[in-house]
Amino acid sequence: MFERHKTLVLNFVLLSFIFVSRFQTFGNPLIHVDEEFYLFGGGRLLHGDLPYLQVWDRKPFGIFLLYAFFHLFGSYRILAYQTGAMAAVWGTAWLLFRMGQTIAPAAGAFMSALLYVALLNLSQGEGGQTPVFYNLPVAAAVALVLQALTHPERKHQDSRLLLAMLLFGLAMQLKYTVVFEGIFVGLYSVARIGLTYRSTSKAIQKAALFAIAGLLPTLAVFCFYVAIGHGSAWIFANLESIFLRGHAPDEETRHLQLRMLRAILPLMVGLIATAALAYQKISQPQYLYLTLWSCAACLGILTFGGWYPHYALPLAAPLALTCAPLWYWRAGRAWVLALLCAVSLTGQYSLRKHRLENGDQQTFQAMLKVISQKPGCVFIYQGPPALYDTPYWCPLTNHPFPGHFHEKIEAHATGMDVMQETRRVLAEKPAYIVTEDPLPLLENFSIRNEIFREIRASYTSVYRFQGRNHSIYIYRHI
């Protein structure tokens, strides 16, 4: 009874902390262009438009399927996906707490769970970015393998490992960057099986089985596209286009990498402490296992590059967990508490800054009011894709994500001739064109010049939102 009461209290504290940490974002449809586009794409999926065909993007099918569920809530879909994100954060944090108890005191494990929640706000994870959702199946998969390590006497261990790989497969359908963590967990499980059974053939059999389980969800989606005659479209969007992207300017890349480094550097103290304990406690493999999980997640980030702040989000779970053992030392406890306070306060400041920069529910309603005065098709060259998830959506292009038009690195990576597609869209005379201020290092200025040549000739400015460092403009056809 006492344990049950304790669990309820801890869950109440955790959920309260999550709610307070993310309160500023609830109901805001303009948190980040990515999740705005996922919700729009999920809505189009409900209307029969398929990713990679009518709505082109390189994100996995699963993320649009997930947001299609949220879109079923109609006018409450913004709150639905943000509530779903909060539930995913709670599930991930609770799993971190349970795993943390295998390497640290319960108080330290709980602090690491709270730290995970706070860390998300530092890297644009206050809404529904893909890692906010896929960190849950990843943490569940890691926990299953950890359970097999700490309780080797339990039955059905191989089934648990197989389920772990299937969870990684589902996570891959939210974003493919999880593949590095999946490979690590799979190889680690195979190595443990090989050492336990002392059989190379059994290890090879399990490796093949785990690989199939991990690839199964992606193969199912691929087979669906093959069955409807569009297998090549799936291959281009999910595989080829990734390698066709250009490179961000060195100056911008260094800036983003330094920003990411500043976010994770304080957490390295925990990683070093856990690695040291792994060396000291050879007989307790959970320390080494969780240290290696953190290293695998870091490797994935290094491999895919550090273009955007939210690329650091997959590191929040493993690095927060490795801070749990710091609770063994007085100085470590002080460090974790100070870090939690600093991250929480900085995160709240970041949320306020993002709201002032990107707008909020009032901003969105103001834009809709302008468009509704003279309804017509909207083309978003730069700006919030949330404006597409309205009655004013027209299929002017099958590449509706704004970045595919204005980002220089996407110029040869989306399967379209950007200039030709821009001219074709402009020839349709959309009623409204949405733009933002130029991005000096990242923007495709030949496309911008084409857009503004048409705006100067045939459009008039009807709305401007002034953020802290940039503006959003709406132009109406004369």
Using alpha carbons, select from 153, 127, 111 the residue that is nearest to residue 17. Answer: 111
- Which DSSP string do the residues of 125-141 spell out, in sequence order? -SS--HHHHHHHHHHHH
Same domain, 51 and 37: yes
Left (φ > 0), alpha (ψ -120 to 50) or beta: where does 74 sit? left
Structural domain boundaries enclosing 450: 359-477
Distance CA 448, CA 465 (A): 19
Distance CA 40, CA 187 (A): 37
Left (φ > 0), alpha (ψ -120 to 50) or beta: where does 372 sit? alpha
Same domain, 353 and 389: no
Same domain, 186 and 91: yes
Contact 190, 145 (CB under 8 A): no
Domain's final residue, options 357, 392, 424:
357
Domain's final residue, options 304, 333, 357:
357
Containing 21, the helix (H) or strand (E) segment is: helix 2-22
Same domain, 334 and 395: no
pLDDT tens readout for residues 37-90:
999 999 999 999 999 999 999 999 999 999 999 999 999 999 999 999 999 999
Same domain, 325 and 250: yes
- Residue 3: the pLDDT is 76
Same domain, 233 and 310: yes
Using alpha carbons, select from 219, 215, 193 the residue that is nearest to residue 204. Answer: 193
**Which residues in the chain show pLDDT less than 50?**
none
- Residue 168: the pLDDT is 97
- Residue 195: the pLDDT is 80
- Residue 252: the pLDDT is 80
The residue written with tokens 């132009």 in the block is: 475
Q: What is the pTM of this model?
A: 0.95
Query: What's the domain count of the chain?
Result: 2
Same domain, 142 and 280: yes
Same domain, 229 and 370: no
Same domain, 336 and 382: no
Same domain, 293 and 430: no
Same domain, 280 and 381: no
Distance CA 163, CA 321 (A): 22
- Residue 1: the pLDDT is 62
Same domain, 142 and 64: yes
Domain's final residue, options 318, 339, 357:
357
